[in-house]
Amino acid sequence: MVDSLGYLMYPLGATAKRKAECMAKAKRGDTVKVHYTGRLEDGTVFDSSIDRKPYEFTIGESGIIPGFEQAVLGMTPGETKTTKIPAAKAYGPRRKNMIVVVDRTQIPAHLKVEIGQRLQINQADGQRVPVKVVKVTQSKVTLDANHPLAGEDLTFDIELVEIVQ
């Protein structure tokens, strides 16, 4: 923490390790633990780690949306920030080519298909892809394979809990 005159301040009785943690900044290759709350533009919370263990990830090893990772870079343990991440740096835009229409006969007969239902489809290479049913007619079912947050600008409250050594 830095005071108004630019002096580095430490908690009273801080150990050398704690002082080092106060100065450390998250960088590429660091494994970090963060708490976060993610919100949509209308304020709806779509995910939060507050009632769970902090989320742990290594900066630069993907597996996390680029805008979130970018926001954590340069943070120090104990620091909090709110960051807006545009859709392009989150889950990307909604893509029309991720929406497919299939014959109802391609869906198991015992399955009662309803709008909003989540299913998995198998690709030719054996990979399973999660989809959402968006339209159902007597003969066709429309499936959307876009990520549920695709096309959404996101806001995150982030706290860097720890840089794991």
Mind spelling out the 3-state secondary structure of 89-135? HCCCCCCHHHEEEEEHHHCCCCCCCCCCCEEEEECCCCCEEEEEEEE
Residue 2 has pLDDT above 90, yes or no: no
The predicted-structure confidence for 79-100, as pLDDT tens digits, reads as follows 999 999 999 999 999 999 999 9
3 state DSSP class of 37: strand
| Residue that is written with structure tokens 């709350």 in the block | 37
Higher pLDDT residue, 56 or 14? 56
DSSP 88: G
Asked if 29 and 62 sit in the same domain, the reply is: yes
pLDDT, the chain, mean:
88
pLDDT attached to residue 67: 94
Number of folded domains in the chain?
2
User: What pTM was estimated for this model as a whole?
Assistant: 0.75
Tell me the CATH number at 120: 2.40.10.330
Confidence label for 122 from pLDDT (cuts 50, 70 and 90):
confident
Q: Give every CB contact of residue 16 below 8 A, 6+ residues apart in sequence.
A: none
Asked if 59 and 140 sit in the same domain, the reply is: no
Residue 112 has pLDDT above 60, yes or no: yes
Q: Which of 155, 111, 154, 161 shows the shortest CA–CA distance to 136?
A: 111
Asked if 138 and 156 sit in the same domain, the reply is: no
pLDDT attached to residue 109: 86
Asked if 23 and 87 sit in the same domain, the reply is: yes
DSSP 146: S
> Is residue 80 within 8 Å of 89, Cβ to Cβ?
no
Residue 159 has pLDDT above 60, yes or no: yes
Residue 4 has pLDDT above 70, yes or no: no
pLDDT attached to residue 14: 56
| Residue that is written with structure tokens 């807006």 in the block | 84
